[in-house]
Amino acid sequence: MAKCLSSICMVNHVVEGDFLQGIIAMPARRALEKEKINSLEKLSDYSEKEIMQLHGFGKNTMGKLKIYMKENHVSFKDN
């Protein structure tokens, strides 16, 4: 039987809380949780470029996130 590597077993990781649930996909939510980003306030401490470096973030996810942030009057920090 193969050993379970942490990178492979991330599929079984359960995201705690509901931050951005229904807004962005699970891989992106897990990446934010791993960085301990669990609120829009904490998210605003990062630049768009920094968030795009995280696993699960691409143009589609970033677009959805930016719309949600704009609706809540929050933005990324400037580079």
Tell me the CA distances in angstroms from 69 to 5, 14, 74, one per residue in order: 34, 24, 5
Angstrom distance (rounded) from CA 72 to CA 59: 20
Estimate the share of the chain in helix, then strand, then coil, as percent rounded to the nearest 5. Answer: 45, 5, 55
Residues 8-47: tens digit of each pLDDT? 444 444 556 799 999 999 999 999 999 999 999 999 999 9
Q: What is the pTM of this model?
A: 0.76
Q: What is the pLDDT of residue 17?
A: 75
pLDDT band for 78, please (50, 70, 90 cuts): confident
| Domain layout of the chain by residue ranges | 26-72
Of 69, 66, 58, the C-alpha closest to 25 is 58
pLDDT band for 1, please (50, 70, 90 cuts): very low
- Residue 46 contacts by C-beta under 8 Å, 6 or more apart in sequence? 37, 76, 77
Widest CA span of the chain, in angstroms?
50
Residues 49-66: tens digit of each pLDDT? 999 999 999 999 999 999
